Structure formats: structure tokens, C-alpha cells
């Protein structure tokens, strides 16, 4: 190792390791003020209650999303922070109404079911029909020959789980040999179902379209999230037929009754309203810089959500963190050296469309970006910060973390040098330009099993001590980045070859945003 590299590594270890004697109040009066505001007068919980309980989920293009945009602008204004709803395109607007699905034969049971986003309803009618299973056909021609039998029926199109217990529960109580046999038999059954779907010759969207055209009364799906009582809820493009997700337990009931020839019949009432293409917006707020107003620190979190629940941890949690960080900064650091901007993005769930559009529309921000901090993975405290392959940014990030109080930095790790994000969350919309856009990555809190895109992503799943900590951390990092006399370099690492192809990897290219529903279908 070269002597210069030894000195750099030594500096990074020293900077990223808090001094043992450092306790609050810290030596820096702004950091001390941020700490007190973040802990003594936090607004994270009341903000979350209004957003998640009263306003609710924020499906892109929906009236609920626009109402939440407007609420956010008013909230920022009440704090003395200028904010605006900035349009970037249009999206198909849709309003959810009441959904009720009941088993009425061979016995009565109210079923747990959620209409998929953008589905048509039953137009005020009670619709009844027999429940049938998607057939096991030899090939696509045989499936086309079967299709007329779908008319007037509710068709089950998903795999029926043999058990809706999480594997952790089965493994805890079953004998090892029983658990192994159970998982092998389930895997074989899943493979058989996938083969059944492939033999139709259709994708999921095309299958739903064909069933709708054949006159199916409804399409019933189930996407179990591997946890107790939890399904993932997405959307549909099927016209003219209601498409619903049925909970793992109730879907299994319907599947077994149909498979065994026991004549299940269901009754559905589903309300929805298609509102056509409507403008969609990012909500942007900023505190203007005093010395370097054309250089930017950006706080980032997507505001849209799926609407099977309330969008609490995806991404109400990140939204609250960034709002609270801005509130704190306005009080503790009202005249920043660089401009501090927060972006609450729409359309993330449809492909990072809001942030991609904003990056393309604001090259001056991308060019002048000192740092972007994005948070988008649940309610847990921030555990790692990825450097995204920007080796030149390492000394600055390490120095900023080194100034944090021990309560925030003891368990915080830097991923050095990291690799540039290629999608998945909104900092990828900026790192593709080579801008210093970093992810604040949280502890999982069973995020992917229980709350990510599920029917259980609700207010009660938030843990507010963690969110208060994250907001305080974000405000401190934003202050340190805005105040730093050094502009963060953009030197990029040489990327390792792709493990699969063994070919050299290149820096990700910036993808254009889909600025309308029509563009998203091309």
C-alpha cells in the first residue's frame, strides 16, 4: 500500500469514528440546536398521523395524491419555507371506492379482498358468479379453445399457497425432516403452476386481457408476501373486468373448493372511478443559499405509494423524515451557505418518473449538486450510507459523519466505494449523471415481508424513535454538506466486471421519465 493511501485510510477511520469523549451538547452550536429540535419538539408523529390516517395512500395521479401534495405545500408555508407543486406530466387518475367480496356458496363468509389499482368496478351492481381455476392446458391453442368457459365466472389465476404460515413459524415447530419435505413439495407445486401459466402463452397482463375479452365476471389473484396475513397489492391494466387480490388464507379456501368441485360462488360489490389523464406533480421546497445559491444540497424521498394500505413505510416514513429535517433546518440554520432543496417525488412506483423528470428539467441543480440524501426503505434507523462509487466523495462524507454525535454515528457504516444505483429508488435518477446522490439505508424491520407494497403498510407499523433519529441525522448531514467549504469531487471508481457476463461494467445511463400513462405502455 502506498504511503499516501495509508494516510487516507487512517484519516477516514479517524473521521468516521466518533471521539469517545464526544457527548451532547456537541461543540458545534448548529449541530447542538438541530439535536435539541429533533428530540425535544419533533413533529414526525403528528405529520404522519395526518398524512397516513386522514389523507391516506397516494397512488400516482389519484385525487388523494393531489390532496396530499397541496397539504404538503401548506405545511411548508406554515413553517416559512417556500414550496410548490411542480408538474412534470400526466397520469391516469383513479379513485378507489368500497370493495366487498363474499363467499355465498357452499357456505357464507366475508372474504378479505382488495381491488387492484386502476381496476374497473361493478358499476353499482352486486355481481355473482361461480369460481373456477385457470385450467391446466397443453398449449396456447388449447387455452384459446377453453377461453369461452371463462364467461360469467370468477377465474383464479394465482398459485394457492399450501400454508399461509411464514417459513420461520414452520421451521420453529416442525421436525427438520418435515420442514424439508414441506418446502420441497411447495417448491414443486409452484413450479407446476408456473408451467401451467407458461402453457397459456400469455404474460400476466395479456392473460387478464384475454379473460376480460372472454367475458369473465372477475379475476381473482393472490400475491402472498411471506408473512402472517400479508399480501402485496399492485395494479392492473385489464379493461372491463374487476381484478382483485384475495388474502392468502381466503384465496386458498376458494381454490380448494373450486379444485374439489364443491361449487364456490361469490358475490362482489366494487366501486371505482376512472378520471382520465390528469396532471401529476412533484412537491419541491427550498431554503435559498446565501453564499453559494447555485450549489445545492437535496433531500429526497418519494411521496407516491401503492394504495392497498396507507403507504406508511413506503414511503411515508421517508417523507416525514425529509419534512421534519427541513423544519429543523429552517429553525437551526435559516441562512445556509448553499441552497437546500427537498424533493417529494411522484411516480416512483411506476419507474422513478418524478425524480427522473425533475433531474432532466433542472440540469442546473444536477450540475451544482453538493450532495443528495435519499431515504426509501422503511421505518428503521439509518444504518449505512452508500458512496455510490464516487471515490472523490469519501473524505467529505467521512468528515461529516465524524462530526455527528455518538448517539447517531456509533452504528453508522459507510459503504466505500460502493457502486452506482441503477434503479429501485430515486437517488438513481441523479447518480447516473455522476452527481453525488447517496442513499440513507435503514434497518429492515421486516420491511419486505410485512410492509413493502402490502395491505398492512399502515401508521401503526412506524416506529417513531427511529424516525426522529433519522430526521435529526438527515438535518445534520444537510447542514454539514451545505456548510462545507469544499465542493464534493465527482471522481468515479473503475467498476468491476459483471459477475455473470465477465464483461466490463459502465456507469449507468440516465433513463428518460415516462411523462404520461401512454408513454409507460410503449
Tens-digit pLDDT profile for residues 449-498:
999 999 999 999 999 999 999 999 999 999 999 999 999 999 999 998 88
Q: Predicted confidence band at 24 (pLDDT cuts at 50, 70, 90)?
A: low
What whole-number distance in Å separates Cα of residue 39 and Cα of residue 472? 8
Nearest-5° Cα angle at 201, 198 to 204: 75
How far apart CA 96 and CA 62 sit, in angstroms, is 9
Confidence of residue 26 (pLDDT cuts 50, 70, 90): low
CATH class of the domain comprising 107-263: alpha beta
Can you give the pLDDT at residue 436?
98
Q: How many CB atoms lie within 10 A of CB 223?
A: 18
Q: DSSP string spanning 270-324?
A: EEEEEEEEEEEEEEEEEE--SSEEEEEEEEEEE----SSS--IIIIIHHHHHHHH
Lowest-pLDDT choice from 8-22, 74-88, 234-248, 497-511: 8-22
- The string of pLDDT tens digits covering residues 209-226 is 999 999 999 999 999 999
What is the rounded distance in angstroms from the CA atom of residue 182 to the CA atom of residue 169?
A: 13
Write down the pLDDT at residue 201.
97
Q: How confident is the model at residue 73 (pLDDT cuts 50, 70, 90)?
A: very high
State how far the Cα of 124 lies from the Cα of 126, in Å rounded to an integer: 7
pLDDT category of residue 5 using cuts at 50, 70 and 90 = very low
Residue 25: closest CA among 17, 35, 10? 35
Query: How high does pLDDT run on average in the chain?
Result: 94
C-beta of residue 88 within 8 angstroms of C-beta of residue 513: yes
**Residue from 228, 224, 278 nearest 252 by CA:** 224
Residue 300 has pLDDT above 80, yes or no: yes
Mapping DSSP to helix (H, G, I), strand (E, B) and coil, where does residue 117 land? strand
Residue 505 clears pLDDT 70, i.e. is over it: yes
Report which DSSP code applies to 390. Answer: B
Q: Read off the pLDDT band of 522 (50, 70, 90).
A: low
pLDDT of residue 16: 45
What distance in Å separates the CA atoms of residue 243 and residue 211, rounded to the nearest whole number? Answer: 11
Average pLDDT estimate for 433-441: 98
Q: Which of 88, 204, 91, 112 is nearest to 155 (CA)?
A: 204
Mean pLDDT over 425-433 rounds to 98
Q: Nearest-CA neighbor of 222 among 271, 255, 261? A: 255
What is the location of CATH 3.50.30 in the chain?
107-263
pLDDT computed for residue 19 by the predictor: 39
Q: Is the peptide bond before 249 cis (omega within 30 degrees of 0)?
A: no
pLDDT at 502: 86
The mean pLDDT of 332-351, rounded to a whole number, is 98
Helices in 200-281 by DSSP H: which ranges?
Answer: 204-213, 248-259
pLDDT band at 297 (very low <50, low <70, confident <90, very high): very high
| Cβ-proximal residues to 498 (8 Å cutoff; 6+ apart), any chain | 504, 505
% of the chain at pLDDT higher than 70: 95
Residues 150-172, mean pLDDT to the nearest whole number: 98
Provide mean pLDDT across the span 296-318.
Answer: 98
Section 347-353 average pLDDT: 98
Here the cell at position 4 is 499516501
Query: Vertex 447, ends 514 and 51: CA angle to 5°?
Result: 65
- Asked if residues 296 and 371 have their Cβ atoms less than 8 Å apart, the reply is no
Please choose, from the candidates 43, 36, 33, the residue with its C-alpha nearest in 3D space to the C-alpha of residue 334: 33
How far apart are alpha carbons 70 and 53 in whole angstroms?
16
Residue spans in the chain of domains classed CATH 3.40.630.10? 28-92+277-493
Whether the model clears a pTM of 0.85, i.e. scores above it, the answer is yes
Q: Which CATH superfamily is domain 28-92+277-493 in?
A: Zn peptidases (3.40.630.10)
pLDDT at 11: 42
Q: For residue 417, say if its preceding peptide bond is cis, omega within 30 degrees of 0.
A: yes
**Does the pLDDT at position 286 exceed 50?**
yes
- 167/352 Cα distance (integer angstroms): 33
Distance of alpha carbon 230 from alpha carbon 247, whole angstroms: 7
Query: How far is CA 306 from its chain centroid?
Result: 8
Strands (E), 69-119: 83-105, 109-111, 113-115
> Which residues sit opposite 382 in a β-bridge?
442
**Angle CA(302)–CA(304)–CA(308) in degrees, nearest 5?**
130
Q: Is the pLDDT of residue 4 over 80?
A: no
What pLDDT sits at residue 209? 96
Burial of 198 (0-12, 13-18, 19+ CB in 10 A): exposed
Q: Is the pLDDT of residue 377 over 80?
A: yes
- Cell numbers for 52: 397516513
Q: Which pLDDT score is estimated for 504?
A: 85
Amino acid at each position: 500500500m502506498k504511503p499516501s493511501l495509508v494516510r487516507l485510510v487512517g484519516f477516514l477511520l479517524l473521521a468516521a469514528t466518533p471521539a469517545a469523549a464526544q457527548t451532547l451538547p456537541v461543540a458545534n452550536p448548529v449541530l447542538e440546536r438541530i439535536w435539541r429540535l429533533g428530540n425535544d419538539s419533533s413533529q414526525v408523529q403528528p405529520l404522519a398521523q395526518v398524512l397516513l390516517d386522514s389523507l391516506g395512500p397516494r397512488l400516482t395521479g389519484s385525487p388523494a395524491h393531489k390532496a396530499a401534495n397541496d397539504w404538503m405545500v401548506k405545511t411548508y408555508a406554515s413553517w416559512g419555507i417556500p414550496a410548490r407543486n411542480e408538474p412534470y406530466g400526466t397520469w391516469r387518475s383513479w379513485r378507489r371506492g368500497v370493495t366487498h367480496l363474499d363467499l355465498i356458496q357452499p357456505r357464507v363468509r366475508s372474504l378479505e379482498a382488495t381491488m387492484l389499482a386502476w381496476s374497473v368496478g361493478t358499476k353499482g351492481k352486486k355481481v355473482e358468479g361461480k369460481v373456477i381455476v385457470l385450467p391446466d392446458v397443453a398449449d396456447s391453442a388449447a387455452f384459446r379453445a377453453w377461453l369461452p368457459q371463462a364467461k360469467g365466472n370468477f377465474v383464479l389465476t394465482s398459485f394457492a399457497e399450501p400454508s399461509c404460515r411464514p417459513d420461520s413459524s414452520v421451521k420453529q415447530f416442525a421436525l427438520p425432516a418435515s420442514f424439508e419435505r414441506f418446502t420441497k413439495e411447495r417448491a414443486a407445486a409452484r413450479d407446476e403452476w408456473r408451467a401451467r401459466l407458461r402453457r397459456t402463452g400469455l404474460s400476466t397482463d395479456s392473460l387478464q386481457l384475454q379473460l376480460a375479452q372472454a367475458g369473465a365476471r372477475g379475476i381473482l389473484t393472490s400475491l402472498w408476501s411471506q408473512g402472517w396475513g400479508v399480501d402485496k397489492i399492485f395494479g392492473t391494466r385489464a379493461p372491463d373486468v374487476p381484478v382483485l387480490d384475495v388474502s392468502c388464507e381466503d384465496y386458498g379456501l376458494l381454490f380448494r373448493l373450486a379444485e374439489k368441485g364443491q361449487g364456490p360462488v361469490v358475490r362482489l360489490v366494487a366501486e371505482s372511478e376512472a378520471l382520465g389523464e390528469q396532471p401529476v406533480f412533484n412537491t419541491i421546497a427550498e431554503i435559498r443559499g446565501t453564499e453559494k445559491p447555485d450549489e445545492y444540497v437535496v433531500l429526497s424521498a418519494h411521496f407516491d405509494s401503492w394504495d392497498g394500505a396507507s403507504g406508511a413505510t413506503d414511503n411515508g416514513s421517508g417523507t416525514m423524515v425529509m419534512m421534519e429535517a427541513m423544519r429543523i433546518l429552517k429553525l437551526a440554520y435559516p441562512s445556509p451557505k448553499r441552497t437546500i432543496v427537498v424533493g417529494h417525488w411522484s411516480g416512483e412506483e411506476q419507474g422513478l418518473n418524478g425524480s427522473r423528470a425533475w433531474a432532466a428539467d433542472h440540469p442546473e441543480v444536477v450540475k451544482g449538486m453538493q450532495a443528495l440524501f435519499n431515504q426509501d426503505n422503511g421505518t428503521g434507523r439509518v444504518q449505512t450510507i452508500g458512496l455510490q462509487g464516487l471515490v472523490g466523495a469519501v473524505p467529505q462524507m467521512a468528515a461529516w459523519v465524524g462530526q455527528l454525535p455518538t448517539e447517531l454515528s456509533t452504528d453508522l457504516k459507510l459503504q466505500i466505494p460502493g457502486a452506482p444505483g441503477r434503479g429501485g429508488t430515486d437517488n438513481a435518477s441523479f447518480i447516473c449523471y455522476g452527481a453525488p446522490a447517496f442513499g440513507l439505508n435503514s434497518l429492515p424491520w421486516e420491511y419486505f415481508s410485512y410492509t413493502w407494497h402490502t395491505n398492512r403498510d399502515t401508521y401503526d407499523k412506524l416506529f417513531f424513535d427511529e424516525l426522529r433519529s433519522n430526521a435529526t441525522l438527515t438535518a445534520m448531514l444537510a447542514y454539514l454538506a451545505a456548510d462545507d467549504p469544499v465542493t464534493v469531487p465527482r471522481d468515479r471508481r473503475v467498476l468491476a466486471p459483471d459477475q455473470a457476463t465477465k464483461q466490463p461494467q459502465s456507469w449507468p445511463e440516465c433513463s428518460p421519465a415516462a411523462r404520461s400513462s401512454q408513454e409507460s405502455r410503449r
